[in-house]
A and B are shown apart, each in its own frame.
Chain A
Amino acid sequence: MLFAVLAAAGVSGAAPQGAVSKKLAGAGAATAPCGATAGGTVSYLTTNGVITQVTVTGLPNGCNGALVSLVLVNGAGTNLGGGGPVVVGGGVASVASLSANPAPASVTAVRLIAIGP
């Protein structure tokens, strides 16, 4: 076990609730990642000067089947747009529906979050 949350709440069913955490304890370790995602490479599809699709290739095989979300950020770390989750297949995650379509020049980094598989 890596960590545990103990909580008590006055709930009346199994639906998601606004549970109030009363105690948090654990070893502080994270769950195991699907692989070394730092080795991925980002590429764009642009349309009329703005980014309309973002693709990350070179993800580890262990990430196939994981759900990936991508966020485009500028130098200040501001979210300029993003999308997902999409399922990784063949080491590739491609997000074609972005919340906004920035120009490539305004983006300095692309952040990836992979959950699973």
Chain B
Amino acid sequence: MMRRFVIVVSGAAAVVLVATGAGAATIAITAKSLATATYSAPVFVPLTLGTANVGPRVGRADRTDTTTVAYSQQVKQSTLCSSWSNASNTQTLGAVTLILNDNAGATGNDTLTVGAVPATCATGFHFGTIDTGSNAYVTTGAVSFTNSTIDLTQTATSTTLVLTFGSPGGPGNRGTVAAGTAAIYAPDATLQDTANRAIGTNQAASTSTVQW
């Protein structure tokens, strides 16, 4: 049977009218509006997050265990530590305190942050926060790792930071994680690359679900 139908689109709704010899049917189409946009893609982002077990126990944050992040561009080093300059392709910062914060993440996971640093970083070290993907790396309070180190290496197109745990101390206790979820690194929003692009809210996730 030959049928005629009409599609009517207005600013509020679209309706299909199907007219037959016996009558008419109406089919409502839910789309009411259409919007498009094209955005510039982020250029300066964290690319990778990884951890390595160097100390005695897998799944526990031990002295000499490492956390490594890599960025897609050369980081403007002074935005990490005020006295650093991109004139140097390597930097080492000792006497750092790394802190595993108990249940401090948005979903209750433990987080890793950089605490006290030498005075050469006059406004602190602007690393950001890692959600570890578990609430069991520390319990009953934060654990501070004194005498930790931070090492920076830059190439012409990238920067890598390695955080190495020092000696752990209370008030919290370290735990051993057998199964967790991926860790997620949220950089400090003040970080910039050498073209003064802010890193924004871009994040990097680990491939491993158990850290250190």
Contact, CB under 8 Å: B204 / A46 = yes
Q: 1/0 per residue A1-23: CB within 8 Å of B?
A: 11111111111101000010000
Listed stretches B8-16, B84-92, B169-177; interface member: B8-16
Chain A interfacial residues counted at CB < 8 A: 52
* CA of A55 to CA of B201, assembled, Å: 10
- A45 close to B (CB within 8 Å): yes
Q: How far is the CA of A7 from the CA of B182 in the complex (A)?
A: 54
Contacts of A34 in B (CB 8 A): 33, 35
Whether the Cβ atoms of A8 and B32 lie closer than 8 Å is no
Evaluate contact between A8 and B45: CB separation under 8 angstroms. Answer: no
Cβ A43 vs Cβ B205 within 8 A: no
Report B-chain residues with C-beta under 8 Å of the C-beta of A42. Answer: 39-42
| Shortest Cβ gap from A74 to chain B (Å) | 9
- Is B200 in contact with A11, judged by CB distance below 8 angstroms? no
**CB < 8 Å neighbour of A52 from B11, B33, B201, B205:** B205
Q: Are B9 and A4 in contact (CB under 8 A)?
A: yes
Which of B22-55 touch A at CB < 8 Å?
25, 27, 30-43, 45-48
Partner of B35, one of A2, A4, A43, A114: A114
A43 to B184, CA, bound (A): 14
User: Bound state CA distance, A31 and B38, in angstroms?
Assistant: 18
A55 vs chain B, min Cβ distance (A): 8
A57 → chain B closest CB, angstroms: 7
The answer to whether A83 has its CB under 8 Å from any CB of chain B is: no
| Residue from B9, B10, B39 in contact with A110 in the complex, judged by beta carbons closer than 8 Å | B39
Partner of B46, one of A46, A52, A117: A46
Which A residues contact B (CB, under 8 angstroms)?
A: 1-12, 14, 19, 30-35, 37-38, 40-49, 52, 55-57, 63, 66, 72, 104-105, 107-117
List chain B positions with a Cβ less than 8 A from chain A.
1-11, 14, 18, 25, 27, 30-43, 45-48, 70, 72, 182, 184, 200-207
- 14 additional A-B pairs beyond A33-B36, A47-B182, beta carbons within 8 Å, are A10-B1, A10-B2, A10-B3, A31-B11, A31-B34, A41-B201, A45-B203, A47-B204, A63-B35, A104-B43, A108-B41, A110-B38, A111-B36, A116-B33
